[in-house]
């Protein structure tokens, strides 16, 4: 899923300060799952902003709404009425959701309430880890299902650097050395020898290095 976290409150308060009528728009898919932008987070943030405004003697009207996904037109339409009734939208979606809302409602300022952090998993409740850089050229089959691009701090393709210690990365002892995970897994699978093979430099054109990517599924176009 796309993992995000709420921006620091002072930053949000500063961003919304010019507006009298604000829609806080939640997103009910990825960011809800990572406790950053679902109904509950919308409600809590709305309460905080109301309290803050009252404390400062300012007048602000806040509307709360959460739609299923802010990156799909079908759901975005559900927000039309609420968007047009407000001065601005504080979107609690990932960066894609924020942009899709901004694209559809040209005359309303749309502000990001979250920092989109990574594509990852919830390893355990409340703990999220980065797993994928969306490079567009998946090599997980060669590294035992562990992405060394996303999970090795030096993006090494041909084995661990000299800083791997007790299975942890030198950059942060809280993080597993991706190559240790690869080697453990491939030892288990009996395929460690295949790591002897040279892995050539990547063709970064599949990533956003060659500019923003577009994917056209002609079979699905109506």
- Residues lying near other proteins in the complex (CB under 8 A) are found at 153-167, 170-171, 177, 179-180, 183-184, 192, 195-196, 198-202, 204
Query: Which one, of 132, 101, 94, 65, lies nearest residue 7 by Cα?
Result: 94
> Smallest distance, Å, CB 199 to other proteins?
8
Give the Cα separation of 178 and 169 in Å (integer).
8
> Smallest distance, Å, CB 149 to other proteins?
9
> Smallest distance, Å, CB 170 to other proteins?
4
Minimum CB distance to other proteins smaller for 82 or for 195: 195
> Smallest distance, Å, CB 45 to other proteins?
29
Would you say 179 and 153 are in contact if contact means Cβ atoms under 8 Å apart? no
Minimum CB distance to other proteins smaller for 51 or for 173: 173
Minimum CB distance to other proteins smaller for 77 or for 191: 191
Minimum CB distance to other proteins smaller for 145 or for 167: 167
Q: Which residues pair with 121 in a beta bridge?
A: 129
Query: Which one, of 72, 84, 70, 77, lies nearest residue 36 by Cα?
Result: 70
Question: DSSP readout, 107-131?
Answer: TS-EEE-EEEEEEEEEEETTEEEEE
């Amino acid at each position: 899923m796309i993992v995000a976290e709420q921006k620091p409150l002072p930053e949000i308060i500063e961003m919304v300060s010019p507006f009298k009528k604000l829609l806080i728009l939640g997103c009910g898919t990825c960011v809800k799952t990572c406790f950053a932008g679902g109904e509950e987070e919308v409600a809590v943030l709305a309460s905080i902003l109301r309290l803050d405004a009252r404390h400062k003697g300012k007048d602000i009207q806040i509307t709360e709404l959460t739609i299923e996904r802010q990156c799909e037109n079908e759901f975005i339409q559900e927000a039309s009425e609420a968007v047009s009734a407000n001065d601005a939208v504080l979107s609690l979606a990932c960066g894609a959701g924020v942009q899709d809302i901004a694209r559809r409602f040209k005359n309303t300022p749309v502000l990001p309430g979250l920092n989109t952090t990574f594509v990852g998993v919830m390893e355990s409740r409340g703990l999220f880890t980065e797993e994928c850089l969306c490079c567009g050229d998946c090599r997980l089959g060669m590294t035992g299902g562990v992405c060394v691009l996303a999970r090795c701090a030096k993006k090494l393709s041909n084995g661990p650097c000299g800083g791997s210690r007790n299975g942890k990365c030198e950059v942060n002892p809280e993080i597993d050395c991706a190559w240790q995970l690869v080697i453990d897994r491939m030892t288990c699978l009996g395929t460690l020898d295949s790591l002897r093979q040279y892995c050539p430099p990547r063709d970064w054109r599949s990533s956003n290095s060659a500019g923003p990517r577009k994917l056209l599924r002609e079979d699905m176009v109506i």
